[in-house]
Structure 1
Amino acid sequence: MSVEQPLWRALTVYRVLTLLYALGLCVYSYDDYDHPLGAVVYMAVLTLWTALTFRMVCSAERCTRRFLVGDLGIAVAGILLTPLVDNHDRIADGTPTLPSIWTMGAVLGFAIKGGWRWGAWASAVVCAANVIERGRFAQDTIHMLMLVWVASVAIGYVVEVARASERTLARALRIEAATRERERLARDIHDSVLQVLAMVQRRGAEIGGEAAELGRMAGEQEVALRTLVSTGLVTPPRGADGAGGPDTAPDLGGLPDASGASAPPCPPGPERSDGGPCDLRALLAPHAGSRVTFSEPGAPVLLPAGVAGELAAAVGAALDNVRVHAGEDASAWILLEDEPDAVMVTVRDDGPGIPEGRLADAEAEGRLGVALSIRGRLRDLGGTAEWISAPGQGTEVELTVPKASAKKAKQKGEAAR
């Protein structure tokens, strides 16, 4: 709903109430008019006009410029008709005009439709008509006209500000949605295409000959694609947990294992289609091997399928970092903990550790392993990713997803479907 829609509804109510007020004044002053029949005819026209145009002021689309001009014409006609039906003594004493405060509704229509400039011009027309009706600049007339002018200009300005704010909010929401989609695509590309290109480059250099040339071309494409992915992305904010935290993000990330296979985001079955609970242990177990030790609770660790898949993908990215930066012979340990209010996965290795400032430099170079594949995933899940590392003492990555955030992510996914 537009931010100005409540103003149109209020104007609709205002026109009806002020019409009743004007009719009451006409009845009350009927015997004081010099030509009461003329006043009755005008009030009948005003009532019929208000009734026929009731829906015209319900929205900006219905309230056309032609209608506004006609509405203001009815009000001005009533003001100028007042000296013809009322006596001059009553007019000199400040007796209300025939349309009375109904006129303000016509002016407000201009202000809401076109902003403060339209409101100012409509107020000027009403002011001129009132001066002509009184025949002079009376003090009470000036006070009343200034009130009309200030009110219309103020409301018109508020409407303009509200419209600008609405446009800014809509643009910000579009940018946020586009940024999140780019980050999601960048994570997928990093987890698949970039790692394949990096492997081709590495294996080509090892084999030599024509394979080396193929590896060189793959490396060039990997750099170009990485630059394309990183261009235009909003750098994820560095929270207290991960400020300067490792971008062990493998630029030349290896594949999960020598054969290139990796664990699927979620096991096939109904859990994947309906977003139901998924046992995180089943997603992390395939990572276990001769160099990777997996420790899990004795009971299932249930999370919504989408949340479990993203968390498992982040663990896979962390293990990729171990293989690339700590070497194929490095050992890693995965610890899955099911806390009352959160699920925590810790990935630890016995590699050389991360030099201070290395991750910030990697992110600035467009190496998005940590920025998107790990930290970005956890941020989208409402969780945190923390790195603990010291040169020569290995690296430990703690991935935490609050269960309350997991439930919200599940509800958001269901609402999207």
Structure 2
Amino acid sequence: MGLEAALWRAVAVYRFAALAYAAVLIVRNSGDYAHPAGGWAVLAVMVAWTFAATYLFADPRRRGWPLLAADLLVAAGCMMATVWVETAANLAGGRALLTASWVASVVLSWAVAGGKRYGLSAALALGMANILVHVAAGTLHRLQGPGSSTFNGIVLLGLAGLAGGHVVKLALQAEARLARAVELEAATRERERLARRIHDSTLQVLAMVHRRGGEIGGEAAELGRLAGEQEAALRALIGTGAGSVPPPRRPGEAAEPPEADLRPLLDAHASPLVTVSTPATPVRLPRHAAEEVGAAVAAALGNVRAHCPAGTRTWVLVEDDGAGEITVSVRDDGPGMPEGRLAEAAAAGRLGVAQSIRGRIRDLGGTVSVVTAPGQGTEIEMTVPAGRPGPRDG
């Protein structure tokens, strides 16, 4: 049984308990009524509606405006019937209305259905009905503010609507958080199970290919190198959980902040030839910015594989200065580039650095610097703002 069902069951229990109290009062006071038969008729209506409302509210599909309005109208009608059944003298003497505290079940129903605003609305409507009873009976002088039983009853209805609605909201939010935590735990356990399966099969095969390829040499060595890179990337993916899919957002639930940790995106590139160094704490960027930086790093590593000799080592370093900028540098120990090489490549239509790297970082409001010289390798340094990015002039 979910929390919402438990709340509706609690309202039903209150209905029956309050009905029993109202029945005791009607039985005890029926001899003093102006129309005793009317008191029994009102009690019969209250009994019938208590059973009907309990049955109808049990189905979530029926908890809409029509049923809530009917619940309010029945309660208000039973309250107004007090004018015909009771005597003005008894009402002036402070005798309770025929419904007594039974009407509070309506306020609780509205609070559970829609929160404190609904609860306060129902309390206000029933409070107005209470006042109309005294207006019709000519006993309005009883409403003398604090200290009056009628005034206190109206205030208690309002407090029930306010407090009940607020508690219901907090309880439902707590249930949603608990469900989310259970989902995340289940996802984590499933990821760990898959990691064990992968480790016992795929990773071992890749490790064997990597080792045997290096022993055989030739073309097998290149195959072994690729297997080693994929093994390292897969280990990083399993370790960070970057491949896990977050559970879907529930209706009405606040959206997750549109941020991402840059570290898992870059750790996935780690391999025997690529060393990735990241801070121990999350490096948060807007999700789109993190993905673009990751793509720019991937393009830089692709250039190393395409234009440097086999076995060229590369280092990726991430720095968060805490002052609003994040710097990612990609440095290799390859042959480097002669002066003017990037300009020639751009003029020839090869835009790997110009667009895949410079273009992406520029669109994020960042800057790119390239330091290279023949025989001294190449270092590409990308700096982006840590906040929400925006293109810079020029």
TM-score (norm 1): 0.52
The answer as to whether partners of 2:207 and 2:228 remain within 8 angstroms in 1 is yes
Gaps spanning 5+ residues in structure 1: where? 235-250, 253-417
Question: Counterparts of 1:190 and 1:34 in 2: how far apart (Å)?
Answer: 85
Match of 2:221 among 212, 223, 233: 212
8 Å Cα contact 1:197-1:219 kept in structure 2: yes
Query: Does 2:168 correspond to 1:159?
Result: yes
1:150 and 2:159 matched? yes
Query: Distance in 2 between the 1:51 and 1:205 partners?
Result: 80
Work out the CA distance in 2 between the residues paired with 1:17 and 1:207: 85
Where does 1:54-65 land on structure 2 (aligned, <5 Å)? 54-58=54-58, 60=60, 63-65=63-65
Amino acid at match of 1:113: A
Q: Which amino acid aligns with 1:8?
A: W
Equivalent residue, structure 2, for 1:12: 12
Q: Secondary structure at the match of 1:96?
A: coil
Query: Contact 2:53–2:71 at 8 Å: present in 1 too?
Result: no
What do residues 326-373 of structure 1 show as CA deviations (whole Å, max 9, x unaligned)? xxxxxxxxxxxxxxxxxxxxxxxxxxxxxxxxxxxxxxxxxxxxxxxx
Give the Å deviation of 1:9: 2.6
Alignment partner, residue 39 of structure 2: 39
The answer as to whether partners of 1:79 and 1:133 remain within 8 angstroms in 2 is: yes
Aligned to 2:100: 100
Residue number in structure 2 paired with 1:109:
109
CA distance in 2: counterparts of 1:88 and 1:118, whole angstroms: 32
C-alpha contact (below 8 Å) 2:107/2:160 kept by paired residues = no
Kept in 2: contact 1:8–1:59 (CA 8 A): no
Could you report, residue by residue, the CA deviation over 1:199-248 in whole angstroms, capped at 9, with x for unpaired residues? 222222222211122112222322332233233269xxxxxxxxxxxxxx
2:236 aligned to which of 223, 227, 237: 227
Q: Secondary structure at the match of 2:99?
A: coil
Offset of residue 44 of structure 1: 2.4
Using the alignment, how far apart are the partners of 1:24 and 1:208 within structure 2?
96
Tell me which amino acid in the other structure corresponds to 1:56.
Answer: L
How far did residue 57 of structure 1 move?
A: 4.0
Q: 1:88: which partner in 2?
A: 88
Residue 51 of structure 2: aligned partner:
51
SS of structure 2 residue aligned to 1:55: helix
Cα distance in structure 2, aligned partners of 1:51 and 1:180:
46
Alignment partners' CA distance in 2, 1:224 and 1:13: 59
Among residues 186, 189, 203, which one is paired with 2:212 in the alignment? 203
Q: How does 1:299-314 map to 2 (within 5 A)?
A: none
Paired with 1:214 and 1:9, the residues of 2 have a C-alpha distance of 66
Taking the TM superposition and a 5 Å limit, the aligned residue runs for 1:251-290 are none
| 2:182 counterpart of 1:173 | yes
The residue matched to 2:201 in structure 1 has which SS? helix
| 1:69 aligned residue | 69
* Residues 8 and 57, structure 1, Cα contact 8 Å, conserved in 2: yes
Unmatched runs of 5 consecutive residues or more in structure 2? 244-270, 273-394
- The offset of 1:104, in angstroms, is 1.0
TM alignment of 1:319-398, pairs within 5 A: none
**Contact (CA 8 Å) 1:197, 1:222: kept in 2 or not?**
yes
1:134 maps to which residue?
134
Distance 2:214 2:6 in 1: 68
Hey, what does 2:304 align to over in structure 1?
Answer: none
Please state how far the C-alpha of 1:60 moved relative to its aligned partner: 4.6
Residue by residue, what CA displacement relative to the aligned partner does 1:354-397 show, whole Å, maximum 9, x if unpaired?
A: xxxxxxxxxxxxxxxxxxxxxxxxxxxxxxxxxxxxxxxxxxxx
| Structure 1 residue 171: Cα displacement | 0.9
What's the CA shift for 1:58? 4.1
> Could you tell which deviates more after superposition, 150-159 or 18-27?
18-27
- Aligned partner of 2:120 in structure 1 is 120
1:63–1:113 CA contact under 8 A, matched in 2: yes
TM-score in terms of structure 2 length: 0.55
Q: CA deviation at 1:128?
A: 1.2
User: Tell me, what secondary structure is at the counterpart of 1:53?
Assistant: helix
1:45 Cα deviation after fit:
2.2
Cα contact 2:213–2:223 (8 A) shared by 1? yes
Q: Determine the C-alpha separation between the residues in 2 that align with 1:6 and 1:163.
A: 11
Report the secondary structure of 2:95's partner residue.
Answer: coil
Residue 61 (structure 1) shift:
5.1
Note if contact 1:183-1:233 (Cα within 8 Å) is conserved in structure 2.
no
Which residue number corresponds to residue 188 of structure 1?
Answer: 197
Q: When the two structures are aligned, how many residues end up with a matched partner?
A: 236
Residue matched to 1:263 = none
Q: Aligned AA for 2:133? A: E
Letter in 1 for 2:110: F
Q: Does the CA contact (< 8 Å) of 1:205 and 1:215 recur in 2?
A: yes
Q: Which residue of 2 aligns with 1:397?
A: none
Distance 1:176 1:209 in 2: 46
SS in 2 for 1:97: coil
Residue range with higher mean Cα deviation, 78-87 or 117-126: 78-87
Change (3 A) 1:184 1:51: closer
Q: Distance in 2 between matches of 1:181 and 1:87?
A: 71
**Does the CA-based 8 Å contact 1:60-1:113 persist in structure 2?**
no
1:302-328 residue CA offsets vs partner (Å, 9 max, x unmatched): xxxxxxxxxxxxxxxxxxxxxxxxxxx
Q: Aligned partners of 1:191, 1:27: CA distance in 2, in Å?
A: 77
**1:222 aligned partner, one-letter code:** E
Shift of 1:31: 3.2
> AA paired with 2:72?
L
Identity %: 44
SS, match of residue 42 in structure 2: helix
